[in-house]
Amino acid sequence: MQCGHYFLLLFVGSLVSVSIACSTEHANQTTFDVRDYGAVSGGRIDDSEAFLKAWNAACTSETENPTLIVPRKRFLLNPIVFSGPCRAENINFLIFGRLLAPDSPGAWKELDPSQWLAFNGVSGLNIAGPGRINGRGKAWWDQSCRDHPRLVGCSTLAPTAVKLVSCKNSSISEIHFLNSSQTHVLIRDSDGINIENVLIEAPERSPNTDGIHISASHNVVITNAIIGTGDDCVSIGDHTSNIVISYVKCGPGHGISIGSLGRSGNFVQVENIHVSKVYLQGTTNGARIKTWQVGRGYVRQVTFEHIFFGSVKNPIIIDQNYCNKSGACKEMETGVHITDVSFNQLYGTSSSRVAMNLNCSRSVACTSIYLKSIYIRSALAGQNVTSNCTNAHGVASGVIQPDPCLQI
């Protein structure tokens, strides 16, 4: 063999050895600190590229339980999508620091304005704290079309802080969500999601800042949460089933809401919803189901129990005649059938005169509504509370105040 060929083989062999060594090291790596992938922290320079590199490394790792680590620093992130599936059965996203959204809507130019941090198609995802996710939404609120309809260039859509889309067997825990531009956490097209020990905060007048919204998802558990926002603490959308909500403190906000459903006349399928051990303070609504007149389908097997109201405007409310017109809605022959709904052991005070309002459709009446052990009094001294029922059929048992008005 000639000398030149010999050294060429040695050189190529060394490159192969280095490549194999690097690949093996990457495959065996278990923790992925975003700083090792170029994140500079400080909260002034966009670190989204470094986060995406760290995610891709963790997601393609062959080790069990790879863990992306966000250290105790401030990190500015432009909109980003963390995509799956990942190689490992489980993957951790541990946040010890603070994630900051851009403080200007201009950062979303030519990008999807509906999301900030999205996780798409990931199974076994564990997002855990004790870090903070700050949506810095004030600039979006100030140009909201809902609150500023005459503002030229107002926004009808704003970013959701965290989206889980098409995720399975995943969880969010010990995270402090703050001031999202719109919804704080969105669960969509997902199955087997647990959310626990979270704190979600936004000003009472911040528009459309739902705490947690669930849509087209199944087997979702929300427990041990403190939520105070400018919209629903928890809202449940269409094609959703097997939802458990418990040990939640809600307020300010619009309460715990199923709906609105059937807005475009679509066929609604919502069932097996269980809400218990919830404390609502100063909210506009308490336990609510809201469906559009033009909707079809059903809401069934719903339980609200062991709930306390503290000066809530509409403690118990079903509105089956919702429309987008001012004044009374016109009677229609369509409607979402609401049936097998239980209100059990609900107590507290109402800030309005009507503490229980069951406004059901004449065409598709509410059926199998069960009231048991309800005691709601006025939050105002010397004032009584009443109930109002329209086309609501069911049974009442135990002590009920205000007096029940169900039809048999």
Q: Active site residue: 47, 184, 213, 231, which one?
A: 231
213 is catalytic: no
Q: How far is CA 129 from CA 133, 259, 353, in A?
A: 10, 30, 42
Q: Is 280 exposed, middle or buried (0-12, 13-18, 19+ CB in 10 A)?
A: buried
Q: Which residue has the tokens 């900051």?
A: 100
189 is catalytic: no
Q: What is the DSSP string of 21-48?
A: HHHHHHHH--EEEGGGGT---SSSSB-H
Distance, CA of 387 to CA of 357 (rounded, Å): 6
Chain center to CA of 34: 26
Q: Kindly state the tokens that stand for 220.
A: 């979702």
- The residues, any chain, with a CB within 8 Å of residue 264's CB and separated by 6 or more, are 294
Give me Rg for the CA atoms of the chain. Answer: 25
Bridge partners (DSSP) listed for residue 358: 318, 389
Instruction: Confirm if 176 and 126 have CB atoms less than 8 A apart.
Output: no
Q: Kindly state the tokens that stand for 354.
A: 């009507």
Tell me which DSSP letter residue 378 carries: E
> Strand 80-83 relative to strand 392-401: parallel, antiparallel, unpaired?
unpaired
Distance, CA of 220 to CA of 188 (rounded, Å): 11
Q: Active site residue: 47, 184, 213, 254, which one?
A: 254
Distance, CA of 365 to CA of 318 (rounded, Å): 11
Distance, CA of 89 to CA of 123 (rounded, Å): 7
Which H or E element spans position 59? helix 48-59
- The residues, any chain, with a CB within 8 Å of residue 154's CB and separated by 6 or more, are 143, 144, 145, 148
Q: Kindly state the tokens that stand for 278.
A: 């919830």
Q: Rounded to 5 degrees, what are φ and ψ at 269?
A: -135, 95
Q: How far is CA 49 from CA 69, 75, 221, 321, 374, in A?
A: 15, 12, 32, 48, 54
Q: Kindly state the tokens that stand for 145.
A: 């079309």
Question: Which residues carry out catalysis?
Answer: 231, 254
